[in-house]
Every structure is written in C-alpha cells, then in structure tokens.
Amino acid sequence: MGTSSLAGEGKTTTISNIACVMTESNKKVLLIDLDLRKPAIHKQFKISNKKGITDLLLNKDEFKNYTNDVYPGLDVITAGNIPPNPSELLNSNSIKELINELSKSYDYILLDTPPIILVSDPITIASYSDAVVLTIAYSETEKEIAKKSIDSLLRVNANIIGTILNKVPVTKQNKYYYNYY
C-alpha cells in the first residue's frame, strides 16, 4: 500500500506511477483505490468511478466486471460508491478475503489510501498489507509529522519497505540532477 501523512503529498500520483513501472517487468499488477474519503485513481487514469471496490464487495460479483484494463499488465479497480461507513468496510473480513482472492490473479496488488494523520483508514489497511511505502513531500512534510506517521504504522507492525521523497525540485543546481545525468 501507499500512503502519506497529510493531504496532497502525492500518494495517488506516486502509486499510479509505481503501478505503471511495475508492469515493465512483465508482472500483472492491480491498483485498487482504497481512499474511500477522497477517491482519485479514476481521475488519474481518466476512467469512470461508477462502480468500484465498494460495489464489488456489496454485490459479491465476479471481480472481472469491476476491473479497468488501463495499460498492458495493469488493471485498476476504482473506489466506487462511497458507503456511509468507510472505516467499517475497510476493517471488514470481507475486504481482506476479497484482496486474498484477487491476489491469486495478480503478481502485485497496490492500494491507494487516505492520509495517516487525518483518518485511521490507512492504519487499518496497513495491518493487512504486506508492505507499506510512505510518501514524503520535499519541504512540505514536517519531520515530526512524518515520525508520527511512522510510529502509527509501526504500532500495527506495518512492514515499511521504504519512503518516496516526492516533489523534489529538479534544477541544474540540484546535485541529484548532476549525479543522474
């Protein structure tokens, strides 16, 4: 799963990019929008959000009726109709069972989530995710806030496999620019 501390740090952008890049090694990737507060994956890929993961859970239907084939090797399931109780749904056995079931058809399942400091959903999702990637926005995310997020994730034994430093300005003065090129 991908998450970050606060709104707008680039969670959706980075997980969408990771999803596209991961298909390059011929892996089958599924990206699911689990930000049931402010879903945005459908906007990122310019697809409909008329039905998504919440509807799939409710209707107990064939998952293939809910996937969008957006890119070779990449399927997307959008958030769908937002239920009145997103936290309950995200903590339900049915979503855990559904993700387990989906994992039989894909090499990787990536989950987009809301910000940690604002809602408990990402901590719930972290408790059943294999790995967590935390996005940190350059000169935006305060150190103390990032530490607080990491503490919350570790409290549920989340496996934090790395962080993404996003929004780094790329200029000719930037040493990363020189190293890279």
Ligand X SMILES: Nc1ncnc2c1ncn2[C@@H]1O[C@H](COP(=O)(O)OP(=O)(O)OP(=O)(O)O)[C@@H](O)[C@H]1O
Q: Does 150 bind Mg ion (CB under 5 A)?
A: no
Contact track, ligand X, 67-106, x by CB under 6 A: ----------------------------------------
Q: CA 10 to CA 117: how far, in whole Å? A: 15
Q: Return the residue of 54, 78, 124, 166 that touches ligand X, per CB under 6 A.
A: 166
Q: Among the candidate windows 17-25, 40-48, 82-90, 165-173, which touches Mg ion by CB under 5 A? A: 40-48
Q: Do strands 29-33 and 74-77 pair parallel, antiparallel, or not at all (unpaired)?
A: parallel
Q: Name which of residues 104 to 123 contact ligand X (CB under 6 A).
A: 115
Q: Does 13 bind ligand X (CB under 6 A)?
A: yes
- For residue 145, what are the CA distances in angstroms to 6, 44, 156, 158? 9, 26, 18, 17
Q: Do strands 68-71 and 74-77 pair parallel, antiparallel, or not at all (unpaired)?
A: antiparallel
Q: Name the residue among 109, 122, 127, 80 with its Cα closest to residue 135.
A: 122
Q: Which residues in this chain contact Mg ion in the complex, by CB under 5 A?
A: 11-12, 40
Q: Which residues in this chain contact ligand X in the complex, by CB under 6 A?
A: 4, 7-13, 35, 38, 40, 115, 166-167
